[in-house]
Structure 1
Amino acid sequence: MREFHKLGNVVKWPVKSNKPKANPDSKLWCDFHGYYGHRAHDCVALRREIQTLIKKGNLSEFTKHSTHDRREQTPARQPPPPPHHKVISFIAGWSDVCGATYSQAKRIARDANLHVTQANVQVNNITRVYFDEQDKGTKREPQYDSLVISIPIENCLIKRVLVDNGSAENIMMLTTLKQMGLAESDMLKRTTTLVGFSGETKRTMGEIALPIYAQGVNLLQKFVIIDYDSTYNIIHGRPWIHDLKVIPSTYHQVIKFSTPWGVQEIHGDQATARECYKTCLKSSIIREESKKPVIAVSGPEKLVEVDLSTGDKRVLMGEDLSPTIESNLVDFLTSRLDDFAWEHERK
């Protein structure tokens, strides 16, 4: 209270009460009001006045330590993105968590009901991530587009990256790896089998770990490499989504995730997503056409005139016919001469 008296009229002192002091021996004395009834550290009016004085810049000698603590808790600024040296314009598989074989996957699925963990976080430290209609922006409607983004990987800006929470692996096409300036020798020769929705399988060529830069967050991720002519350069599966704690929304065409400097967003490219979908459909039609059996068609055969048994009728037959077939055809036509129009009558 001595500091309050030093401030003088800066402090908004409460109006003194004219009522007689009751129970002067009571310990419930408030220095701020100057009468009995409650203690100073329980005085609500005193707390409000202290907050007001701090906002005005007073009592700074008592707030230096707390201000320093707040500065230490202030999130650092988002680091700048790495330079891009290059711009590179539903699959399931094994993972380190879900197992590489059927028996491992079966055991993990059985144990899933036995081991339940609870996140060890404080509610006050949770950054809330939410979506609203403003996140949609100027999207074309109606839309059922997939979520396709562009993201820096290993100092290359990779476009046509599909965010797919139905994929158990991060997948990179072999052509993308080569366009990034990497070679097959940079891969770890560890192959496995990817299983698609309809049961089709695809063997991987190996795997490679590369850093992914997402709005200030550098995250090292493993990619499996496949030699496949895909419309996408890369597929970001559940490993990247879960490790970065990404929340994707195809409806809003955006992904959001928490960082030390707040909630960050990466918006999808709706036009690229539709172009990829169109290319994917065209490729599937070409593959279906290539599976159809091809009927060999030879050029026109040489014909020769053949006399029928009547002597005045002639027909053209292929010269490559065997004598037996030719004889049978002559007998057939001779027996049915009246069934054919041999001459054209003009009216």
Structure 2
Amino acid sequence: MSKITMKKLGITSGNLSRRRLTIQGFDQGTQRVVGMTRLDLTVEELKASTLLHVIDARISYNLLLGRSWLHENGFIPSTLHQCFKYIKNGEILKVDADMKPFTEAESYFADTKLYLDPDNMQEVLPSKNSRLVTPVKKFILKLHP
């Protein structure tokens, strides 16, 4: 999570636990972690406590949920469709993520020309028992007590 997102959520530097950690970015550059915080992340009916590292950088995402978090909570991400899916009570549910994934921080023609507008895209679900969940416009985040 970026410091900008942290501030938008009302989290101050005093709420962060200090950690001497360096992470490697997608561009292979290194970035020192400012601190860590634990938040409750709510997606539809799921509530999960999530440990997030805060970095001081311009990034094109709000939160980066790792593979272990996705697998632990049974989510299947789709970069192409900008969503993730999960199964609940035998139904496949879909949660839309960011519908405008490209920002000024990182927008390349090679990426944007392949992006399909979700309003003009028909997605086929594998089962007639499947239903789509009303799209979630944003994650609901709050500090863990």
Q: TM-score w.r.t. structure 2 length?
A: 0.64
CA deviation map 1:80-130 (0-9, x unaligned): xxxxxxxxxxxxxxxxxxxxxxxxxxxxxxxxxxxxxxxxxxxxxxxxxxx
1:218 aligns with 2:44: no
Distance 1:253 1:229 in 2: 20
Amino acid aligned to 2:24: V
Structure 2 counterpart SS, 1:245: coil
Contact 1:217 1:259 in 2 (8 A): no
Number of residue equivalences: 108
> How far 1:220 moved relative to its partner?
0.5
Determine which structure has more spread, i.e. the larger CA radius of gyration: 1
Amino acid at match of 1:174: K
1:212 deviates by 0.7
Structure with more of its chain in strand, by fraction: 2
Matched, 1:202 2:31: yes
- CA gap 1:231/1:263 in 2 versus in 1, 3 angstroms: same
Q: Which amino acid aligns with 1:229?
A: R
Map 1:244-255 → 2, pairs under 5 A: 244-255=73-84
Measured after TM superposition, the shift of residue 219 of structure 1 is 0.5
Q: Secondary structure at the match of 1:234?
A: coil
Distance 1:239 1:252 in 2: 21
- Tell me which of the two structures has the higher relative contact order, counting C-alpha pairs closer than 8 angstroms and 6 or more residues apart: 2
2:106 is the counterpart of 1:280:
yes
Question: Is the CA contact (8 Å cut-off) linking 2:58 and 2:105 kept in structure 1?
Answer: no
Query: Which position in structure 2 is the counterpart of 1:257?
Result: 86
| 1:173 and 2:2 aligned | yes
SS in 2 for 1:177: helix
User: Which stretches in structure 2 are left out of the alignment for 5+ residues?
Assistant: 109-145
2:133: which partner in 1?
A: none
**Residue of 70, 87, 90 corresponding to 1:241:** 70
Q: CA deviation at 1:198?
A: 4.8
Which amino acid in 2 is paired with 1:196? G
1:4-48 CA distance string (max 9 Å, x none): xxxxxxxxxxxxxxxxxxxxxxxxxxxxxxxxxxxxxxxxxxxxx
Which one-letter code corresponds to 1:280 in the other structure? E
For 1:234 and 1:257, locate their aligned partners in 2 and report how far apart those are by CA, in whole Å.
19
The verdict on how the C-alpha distance between 1:279 and 1:216 changes in structure 2, with shifts beyond 3 A counting, is same
Q: Secondary structure at the match of 2:4?
A: helix
Q: Name structure 1 gaps, 5 residues minimum.
A: 1-171, 283-347
Which runs of structure 1 show a deviation greater than 3 angstroms over 4 or more consecutive aligned residues? 259-263
Quick one: structure 1 residues 182 and 260, their matched pair in 2 at CA, closer, same or farther if it must change by over 3 Å? farther
Instruction: Report if aligned partners of 1:231, 1:280 keep a CA contact under 8 Å in 2.
Output: yes
Deviation (angstroms), 1:245: 1.6
- Identify the residue that residue 21 of structure 2 maps to in structure 1: 192
Percent of paired sites with the same residue: 26
TM-score w.r.t. structure 1 length?
0.29
Counterpart mapping for 1:33-112 below 5 A:
none
